[in-house]
Structure 1
């Protein structure tokens, strides 16, 4: 008599899937994402510093546990009920790492944090645990904001730290970024454009808080780098990537308010509209206007800050 084969046991979630699932739930709680908000794989992968594949697996795991829901056609969305708080401590929550990230960006930009630091220095200065500090340093290393020193410690890389350098940076970007849209080899990836549009639309609906500046800058940087990549000119892409690295700390510590976030998103979406319509010259003009407007905002902010320092006798 033929014996029935034993059913194949369902594989248990990996440790990475469990950690990412907890991280996604924490992001939903920390940013107070409204029910129905789309949980985009690309954005989550950037926030959690992993590739899209494990994020997709974590989303599937959460959906299977009914902690998030699957869309009618595809994709994952926040449910109508708040996710439960974690019962046991695990991997550092994104909210913890994001708060430390912003604090380091603020202190580095103001010069209060030295160029050379160690993990212990940061733990003592900010009262943070080693796993949180290590996670933040790893994230900073990914965007080339810090570099591990031979033997021991970390070194912060050069940043755009003064008004003159910021003005020069914007003039440089005004020269190259509109030109990138007019390159003969320019080709917009429709999948990238659709994902970027979704991320910008989500940003305009998201509750703003201090640590939201991190996701906002990463989206902003991805937009400008993506258009430079679409130009087909590798040298333009490298130039834009370098500018994003140099200006990262000034933007991770966002000081321009949520209204400026909305303006930025609307202007990015208008550029996408023109590119998708095949109107590259109009898109280039909008890009130039966008960068000139951002430069004016930075200049006014710098002048106000300089006035405060003068009045305080500094």
Structure 2
């Protein structure tokens, strides 16, 4: 399927808005000439935009009849489950990390692929942008900022982390605020008690990222903190595409809590050794190998 041009994408979205404004539904018909007149453009880009919608299964061109509407992306005011955006983000992560999404994507494509209304698609893309995972293109659409899953890059990341993160705990003046430690313990306890769902990988990863960033911040050294934050940005989508189930979540949480125990006791060298073992074991896991199964 050829990538549509920016103009074709824009006109496709305007056609869908006309359909909604006219309260049309599946089974209704569009006229190419009339649509072009209403949009104030020539027939050529309208024809190309309709072909783009046809490739997505939204419309179908019928010889000597016109354009039949087959289905529409979810309307903007449709009621969606509360976790719809989280589920869409998990599925987007899986498709991106497995080479099923190109480097650039449109809002319309996000709406269609993940059955979202426009507000939900905009929130999802804005959230990805806030996390430095995508950026808005100058004219139209969005661009991913990082490459899809690559084993060589993942191995390099863990080798780097195994050098930096264990040593952070041995920095002179390393200190953790008791309030942060209490918050981390509470969040890990909640993660262990919460039923595991497909969308749980997002909250789990963000808690995990906050744990590692918090330890780096405890050094008081901006270079440690910046390095760990950057690593978390680079591996975010891969970890949203979690395929290891709840058992690995339990192991991860218990290892984190064990490190906190030793740090509170002033046994930083032990905690440092535990961090290196923690990262070494994690480096040998393969994320995204299968869909996460709900666990009670």
TM-score exceeds 0.5: yes
Matched, 1:265 2:253: yes
What is the aligned partner in structure 1 of residue 11 from structure 2?
A: none
Matches within 5 A, 1:1-314: 94-159=82-147, 161-298=149-286
1:91 Cα deviation after fit:
8.6
**CA distance in structure 2 between the partners assigned to 1:286 and 1:127 by the alignment:** 43
Retained in 1: the 8 A contact 2:78–2:117? no
**CA distance in structure 1 between the partners assigned to 2:186 and 2:285 by the alignment:** 26
Question: Of the two, which has the highest radius of gyration?
Answer: 2
TM-score for the superposition, normalised by structure 2: 0.69
1:236 Cα deviation after fit:
1.0
Retained in 2: the 8 A contact 1:179–1:284? yes
Q: 1:261 to 1:116 in 2, by over 3 A?
A: same
**CA distance in structure 1 between the partners assigned to 2:87 and 2:94 by the alignment:** 11
Find the residue that maps to 1:155 and give its secondary structure: strand
Retained in 2: the 8 A contact 1:159–1:249? no
Unmatched 5+ residue regions in structure 1?
1-88, 306-314
Deviations 1:18-63, CA, capped at 9 Å, x for gaps? xxxxxxxxxxxxxxxxxxxxxxxxxxxxxxxxxxxxxxxxxxxxxx
TM-score for the superposition, normalised by structure 1: 0.65
1:165 Cα deviation after fit:
1.3
Q: 1:294 to 1:119 in 2, by over 3 A?
A: same
1:174 Cα deviation after fit:
0.2
Retained in 2: the 8 A contact 1:117–1:154? yes
What is the aligned partner in structure 2 of residue 48 from structure 1?
A: none
Q: 1:130 to 1:276 in 2, by over 3 A?
A: same
Deviations 1:107-149, CA, capped at 9 Å, x for gaps? 1101111111121121122221111111111111121111111
Find the residue that maps to 1:214 and give its secondary structure: helix
What is the aligned partner in structure 2 of residue 41 from structure 1?
A: none
1:238 Cα deviation after fit:
0.9
Q: How many residues align?
A: 214
Retained in 2: the 8 A contact 1:160–1:246? no
Unmatched 5+ residue regions in structure 2?
1-76, 291-296
